[in-house]
Amino acid sequence: MQKNLEFTFKNQPLTPAICEPLITECFAGRKVTRNAIVKEVTQMHLLRGGLESEAIDVPRTIKKALENLRKKQLATKHPSYSYWIIYPKENTKTTQQHKNQNNLEKENINSNEDTIVLGAGSGSVYLFYFPEYKKDSLEKWKCKIGKTKGRTKDRIFSEATRLPEKPIIPVEIRSDNPLLLEKTIHYILTYRNQKDNNSGGGKEWFITNPKEFIEIAQSITKEIY
């Protein structure tokens, strides 16, 4: 698919029609902000030999592409401001919902809380926790902050046989340098004395919450999520 896209769109300015397959390729099966879509699709198009958009307002070009995908049942506007859910091209929304549910059951991933995907990049830094940890906590509770060069759910699924219950994955932050971002977040939380030293699950557990995790990442990357 990548080679076809490179040949088809080479030396062409970015348009809504070109954005549509790029959005599907980059974000199928994910919930993501429009800002992240703008950044990653623009970067991918230029790297593959495409030209910059002739439109002054590139976000408007992406918005038009997203509206076209919505009409084709390949995207849905999430109730949360500026978030979109992107579906694979070969599936309708209904088919994909059933597919996602089957995958969630297979992978032992809790679907009670959607994963918010922020930023753009080839890897991710993610936060997950177990419902039991949050149950009696008012503000902060034990969460694991890890990294992966691939899909977050695939990474967590690799640990599924050792997990005590189905994890909640409220947020992941895409990054081209997930190792550095993860280490910096760990360092800041450790400096704040929020490392969970009593955990037997490893060195990546901290007493925090998704909101603090996002705020720290934002202060590091200087991006607005």
Instruction: Let me know: does 69 contact 20? Beta carbons within 8 Å.
Output: yes
Write down the pLDDT at residue 102.
42
Do 156 and 88 lie in one domain? The reply is no
Task: Note whether residue 7 is domain-resident.
Answer: yes
pLDDT at 160: 52
- Compute mean pLDDT per 10 residues along the chain, 225 residues long, and list them: 56 92 90 88 90 86 92 78 75 48 45 72 91 84 90 67 75 92 97 84 87 93 73
Q: What are phi and psi of 186, to 5 degrees?
A: -60, -45
- Output the pLDDT for position 33: 86
CATH code for the domain in which residue 40 is found: 1.10.10.10
Q: How many domains does the chain have?
A: 2
At 129 the three-state DSSP class reads strand
Please state the φ and ψ torsions of residue 81, each to the nearest 5 degrees.
-55, 130
pLDDT at residue number 198: 75
Neighbours of 78 (CB within 10 A): 15
Q: What is the pLDDT of residue 79?
A: 56
Q: Is residue 87 domain-shared with residue 135, that is, in the same domain?
A: no
pLDDT computed for residue 162 by the predictor: 59
Domain end residue (candidates: 98, 117, 142): 98
> Based on the domain organization, do 82 and 61 belong to the same domain?
yes
**Is the CB of residue 153 less than 8 Å from the CB of residue 172?**
no
State the distance between the two ends of the chain, measured CA to CA, in whole angstroms: 30
- Do residues 205 and 118 both lie within one domain? yes
Contact in structure between 159 and 153 (CB atoms under 8 Å) = no
pLDDT of residue 121: 87
Domain of 135, in residue numbers:
108-221
Which residue, 65, 98, 131, sits at the end of a domain?
98
